[in-house]
Chains A and B, each alone.
Chain A
Amino acid sequence: SQELEQSPQSLIVQEGKNLTINCTSSKTLYGLYWYKQKYGEGLIFLMMLQKGGEEKSHEKITAKLDEKKQQSSLHITASQPSHAGIYLCGADNDYKLSFGAGTTVTVRA
């Protein structure tokens, strides 16, 4: 089965600073999805990557899938309190999703 490792497990960032979260897969990624989860709530779809070298951006969040398609990164520029939450990477595994353990982001004012 496909295993996803996320790093760091948690991070605290000062408002306005940048942050990066990594997701490494044990197998080639054919579809990589980033979700955000607020504590006790559902998963909000952020972005989807399929092709090696692909990069997508939405507002201040950028996600990349490396050329070898086994690692993805999520980068937030100029973080705001609204960016706080748990970020999960999910990989397509025969049309079901396998998830990483999540990265908890805290943004300090």
Chain B
Amino acid sequence: EPEVTQTPSHQVTQMGQEVILRCVPISNHLYFYWYRQILGQKVEFLVSFYNNEISEKSEIFDDQFSVERPDGSNFTLKIRSTKLEDSAMYFCASSDRQMVDQPQHFGDGTRLSIL
């Protein structure tokens, strides 16, 4: 069964450094998402992406964050100058269409630890 893949599974970075999280969505999907889950908290929406542009972003997704689809298969989340509070599990998701009857399929996540 097709799946969303994320790399790396775990990333340790010094505060202030840039980090890029990578995702390969399901191949025929058109809508892409990033969510994050801080330890012990709910999964939170960060951003949605369609047709090479951001569809919607949350208040969390400030200027230090950016997303890109550099080629036909990858979808990346960049955090420019990491802070301690960016430590979280980051999930990529994709869906076929942006309709209520189309579930989002999630990857296994990247655990980001900021030191």
Contact = CB atoms under 8 A, between A and B. Distances in A.
Contacts of B55: 95
B43 A48 contact: no
Given A95-B48, A96-B45, A97-B35, A45 B105 contact: yes
A55 interface: no
Interface in A63-109: 88, 90, 92-102
A33 B93 CA distance: 14
A48 B45 contact: no
B111 A94 contact: no
* Secondary structure class of chain B's binding surface, majority of residues: strand
B104 interface: yes
Interface in B3-40: 4, 6, 31, 33, 35
Of residues B48, B58, B100, which shows the largest number of chain A Cβ atoms within 10 Å of its Cβ?
B100
A92 B100 contact: yes
Nearest to B55: A95
A35 B48 contact: no
Contact of A94 (B31, B35, B56, B109): B56
Contacts of A35: 106
A96 B43 contact: no
Contacts of B44: 99
Nearest to A98: B45
B108 A50 contact: no
A95 B93 CA distance: 12
Nearest to B43: A99
B35 A31 contact: no
9 contacts: A33-B103, A41-B109, A42-B91, A45-B104, A48-B103, A93-B45, A94-B56, A96-B33, A96-B58
